[in-house]
Amino acid sequence: MDRFLGAADSALRTLFSKPRATRPCPVVPADETRLAADDSREAAALMRVNHVGEVCAQALYTAQALATRDPALRAHFERAAQEENDHLAWTAERLSELGDRPSLLNPLWYAGAFGLGLLAGRLGDRLSLGFVVETERQVEAHLQSHLDRLPATDHASRAIVAQMKEDEAAHAAQALQAGAAELPAPAKALMRAAAKVMTTTAHYI
């Protein structure tokens, strides 16, 4: 019961309260970010996509923590969720600095990711960890693509994305070390397709 309430609490906090980071937002102090209107709009769209990704990360890790019976693995997932919460806070903050809003569909993304996390958890701990490895790798590649697409002068967004990319790589490595199994290729392809739908939609809505 405690764990279910914890998961519900985490869902409500992710969706409806202002997340608080435990680490300071990465910035490049020497370079002040000044953007033309077009660049600012495009940067905001990309940061909205990244914010949705972090909403999903909260849902996935919370669901996977709920699904496992291994207390050590639960602690592992909860620790990762805590770090992802920094990402959630940084992207939310940057979005509002850019004068834009988060995705209107966040409750939907959260629910979908939560279901996926429960499903991954049902497949057993090694596959659940394998799902983390594949997710984090895909997110890392996605963040690299954003480093190529973000306006070159948007130092503030770029610093955040660069730090997130580093953290996601570490999450993948930690899950591997915890005993992750490799997911079958069709599962990876399906995950890429689902991510594509999410990133394309969140760019606009």
CB of 25 to Fe ion, least distance (A): 14
CB of 122 to Fe ion, least distance (A): 21
Mutual angle of helices 125-149 and 37-67, in 10-degree steps: 170
For Fe ion, the closer CB: 49 or 57: 57
Q: Which of 168, 174, 178, 183 binds Fe ion (CB under 5 A)?
A: 168
Separation CA 122–CA 24 (nearest Å): 35
Separation CA 48–CA 44 (nearest Å): 6
Q: Does 171 bind Fe ion (CB under 5 A)?
A: yes
Residues making up the chain, counted from first to last: 205
Separation CA 54–CA 51 (nearest Å): 5
128 and 121 in contact (C-beta within 8 Å)? yes
What string marks each residue from 57 to 96 as x (binds Fe ion by CB under 5 A) or -?
x--------------------------x--x---------
Q: Does 146 bind Fe ion (CB under 5 A)?
A: no
Residue ranges binding Fe ion (CB under 5 A): 57, 84, 87, 136, 168, 171
